[in-house]
Structure 1
């Protein structure tokens, strides 16, 4: 009661024209480390996202949410007036990651023996963990609660909750036979066109085709998405990559491991089965062979991008990732979600086929890039769990390096390449004067050891520096619940 009386007196004491509401701190305040109008990040190593070598002893000036200068600190150029200067000696700055296959849902644990596979909206945990992990822009790779996703985006953009800049896909474009009860099953090409038109008007900025739709449904969806100036990607099974490319698809998810065009006797508009197709790829498909090279050439010629999702693929490749890499992510999960993930993971320990599949995918991604293809990255935090937003995006970088890319190439794949695909590389994706101050401050050098991408200390989004540890603590133990 006394506190309420004090608050009332304080309100009365405010100058005329100011309300108590105006004095409330921003809901983002608990997560912000730096919010100076003019800021200088001094004496820092810069990996700019273009694939160029790291630059030592650099300085980045920020004002109004933009990068106003990138220069060598040894020049000793005068600081901007009223600037706050941070000495970041020994730190590394990379561009904010652009996650191109992300989700705002997560598998629910404790499924009954005869129960349905369900996914819960991760409205609290996912946005914070993406941002904490260094993801400043994220495209959702399919939505199960599109209205919720759109409202989350609006709340984040309005500064009500922390999170990255989201590109929200509409609901999955899925055909008959889906495994997921939460997905609408298209009834034909007209239904696909109607769905795209409706969700484009509601605010969706991209679309994703899924496993069982027909070629006619995909064609209609692509035509209507393009008519709205929007792009469409696909995780396909009933339609092979070259056929989808000929229909005009913009992007394909996961890579070679889900392409069914090589499966013997594949019928039009029919998914031959995920396990059967993957077994064929493992046992019979030569990534160096002419058939795969022709497919790569066709995709590159039609400017179809590929999204690498090695973090989720790794979970089917035996006892991976190493448990020491999992500890931080496990702490964010509910006890039930962690238990279920670890139980299923233990059954994968002897799965040699998954290891072969992972390495073939890595080889495919190297050859796709060598042929001139645009490779992007996203962590796909679904499957049977364990791939956690933010943490999974960092793991993707490590796996790209394992695949044969250099650390600076991996960082480009996970940043500038996504910006180019989205047509936003003039504003985001690399560290350059005039671009948004979307930056990740790391405690060590990922060019020397890619695992240093896990040492996130602060994440800048539009010039505001967020405390990574505070964001993670705020949702500790909630992944798998909310």
Structure 2
């Protein structure tokens, strides 16, 4: 009996001993994902005794967001030799990614790429769907590598440099951390923070941060130090790449596009002094001053600077906008401190970028809350939020999806009383008609126009606001009485529409393994890892629905044309990659049937009028601010020529797009 009782005890003791040994051999670290100051998800890292790393990562961004698990093994140099990742991506498409190296042969398969390659030298595979901590793995491998540089797989090269260090404190705890920047992954460096032993501590930004659990309050201090490094770099670039003429500038022999009439006039001279246009007229009528700098624009078009009316500008993105000829933008949701800092830097000449018009986002609390700290549940909170934005110099309010419908009319009245425009998403459980009737000045995104007619979709905070459009937009009869009546309502209320059709083109027509249609013409110019991000595809397509998704994308363009034909004011916004996406947005307007001159008017004078800046901007005319572009070709005839900007003039300063793009790793 004694022996029988002892056997299970011995087994239990052995199991306990084994469990304790496994626990002591493993290290688990938890991280918090913070979006716009709100906890939104997590990453957990478990490292086994043999160095194998297991990750779990997910976050909720308004119903979107990845949910991934990954197992990674590294070699002695810190290079991945095995990666297996599964789950879903940001748009909920399934993810299955595998990578391995054996006998100097790398193999990977991720649904968009399937390749095998002999490695002539060590290289670091960058996952198509990666964990935040993979940035730290890359940084550590680069720190060990000769010259702190490594080839990347599938393409490109990265390097790392230390940019600072600090000690953060939470309560009675302190942690020394070191800042690094990695070049070669995007248009600008990627920043992260490591502990002294190389352990991942944080990657922070004004929008999304990932930081060790328990240290969330230190993110703002780390971001401040990062911003100081960014500010020095952007200031140096601004002083290097901005040319201030110091004398009059005469652009001669130009084919000038008049955004008022929509007509082009060849053999035109534009005379600029300081930041103003002095005179515009025929070459034979205007004699430039003797000390003027002459720019011969023979065979080229001159158009007003472009406007992007839907951006969320981030650090280092101003140069992307300006290189593409975008001299004015409207920011429709951002961190106030970060946005104000970017705007101040641009206005002071310490950062290259467009003029920024600020619109502040307001949302309701809940699991689908947008990226803002301005969350409201009562009319008093709505008034306080509007008052704050007005005090900070904002020009409008963006209502977001979780605002309670009953708060919307009062919120709009408060905003209008402060002289602020109101636009935004149509809040959940509210129709676009109700939003317009409540006094909204503008609708964001063409999908909300369609959702007005699919009234069975009540909760538009979820991905249903995308998937419903993909599945059903093609079925909507655009000649039906409800559609005609709604367009009439928009006309009567002078409601503006910001379609952002380019992002829906991507969602509905992009497929894994193929370059996104919206960027196909410029993909080869982009940094390799940016280009690679264009092959991930759009929304997951159910079996048998491929053509329906494409037909729905076409239906969105048909609706844009109906709005244009009815005289509904349209503004060109993107909500995507700066610069290049605006060009695509205009191409899609022309594809929809809008004449090229009118597409240009939408993106110049039309936008300036909506923002009440048309007395100073939007056309090339005497007395106006000198924001204009010289373009190889004639975009009033072929809208795609808008991509061929040879010179950007903003506020009288001259910028060479090739030089700007060169700093971002973009080929001419």
Q: TM-score range by the shorter chain?
A: 0.7 to 0.9
Partner of 2:583 in structure 1?
394
Asked whether 1:289 is paired with 2:484, we answer: no
Within the candidate set 371, 377, 399, 1:187 is matched to: 377
Distance 1:395 1:272, change over 3 A: closer
Q: How far is the alpha carbon of 1:377 from its aligned partner?
A: 0.4
Q: Which moved more, 1:80-89 or 1:259-268?
A: 259-268
CA distance in 2, matches of 1:459, 1:444: 15
Within the candidate set 560, 575, 590, 1:380 is matched to: 575
Partner of 1:91 in structure 2?
300
CA deviation map 1:125-167 (0-9, x unaligned): x111111111111001222x22101111111111111100001
Asked whether 1:422 is paired with 2:611, we answer: yes
Long gaps (5+) in structure 2: 1-234, 511-515
CA distance in 1, matches of 2:258, 2:362: 34
Distance 1:391 1:215, change over 3 A: same
Question: TM-score under structure 1 normalisation?
Answer: 0.81
Aligned pair count reads: 424
Root-mean-square deviation (CA), in Å? 2.7
Asked whether 1:48 is paired with 2:258, we answer: yes
Within the candidate set 404, 407, 422, 1:232 is matched to: 422
Partner of 1:452 in structure 2?
641
Partner of 2:122 in structure 1?
none
CA distance in 1, matches of 2:458, 2:521: 42
Q: Which has the larger radius of gyration?
A: 2
Long gaps (5+) in structure 1: 1-24, 105-121, 382-387, 478-482
Q: How far is the alpha carbon of 1:341 from its aligned partner?
A: 4.0
* 8 A contact 2:370–2:400 mirrored in 1: no
CA distance in 2, matches of 1:287, 1:346: 24
CA distance in 1, matches of 2:325, 2:460: 39
Partner of 2:517 in structure 1?
321
Distance 1:137 1:262, change over 3 A: same
Task: Point out which structure has higher relative CO (alpha carbons under 8 A, 6+ apart).
Answer: 1
* 8 A contact 1:196–1:224 mirrored in 2: yes
CA deviation map 1:285-339 (0-9, x unaligned): 21121111111111111111011312212112324416642415632xx72x554
Distance 1:344 1:271, change over 3 A: closer
Partner of 2:315 in structure 1?
123
Within the candidate set 326, 349, 356, 2:551 is matched to: 356
Asked whether 1:311 is paired with 2:520, we answer: no
CA deviation map 1:332-363 (0-9, x unaligned): xx72x554442235966974343223222222
Distance 1:438 1:199, change over 3 A: same
CA distance in 1, matches of 2:502, 2:518: 12
CA distance in 1, matches of 2:356, 2:518: 30
Q: How far is the alpha carbon of 1:275 from its aligned partner?
A: 4.2
CA distance in 1, matches of 2:238, 2:464: 46
Question: TM-score under structure 2 normalisation?
Answer: 0.59
* 8 A contact 1:211–1:271 mirrored in 2: no
Distance 1:323 1:26, change over 3 A: closer
Q: How far is the alpha carbon of 1:97 from its aligned partner?
A: 0.7
Q: How far is the alpha carbon of 1:99 from its aligned partner?
A: 1.1
Q: How far is the alpha carbon of 1:68 from its aligned partner?
A: 1.4
Distance 1:282 1:180, change over 3 A: same
CA distance in 2, matches of 1:346, 1:167: 31
Query: What is the 5 A alignment of 1:28-427?
Result: 28-33=238-243, 35-73=245-283, 75-104=284-313, 122-124=314-316, 126-143=317-334, 145-178=335-368, 180=370, 185-238=375-428, 239-265=430-456, 273-275=464-466, 277-279=468-470, 281-319=472-510, 320-321=516-517, 324-327=520-523, 330-331=526-527, 335=529, 338-345=531-538, 351-381=546-576, 388-427=577-616
Give 1 or 2: higher strand fraction: 2
Partner of 1:438 in structure 2?
627
CA distance in 2, matches of 1:100, 1:57: 31
Q: Which moved more, 1:203-212 or 1:150-159?
A: 203-212
CA distance in 1, matches of 2:415, 2:272: 37
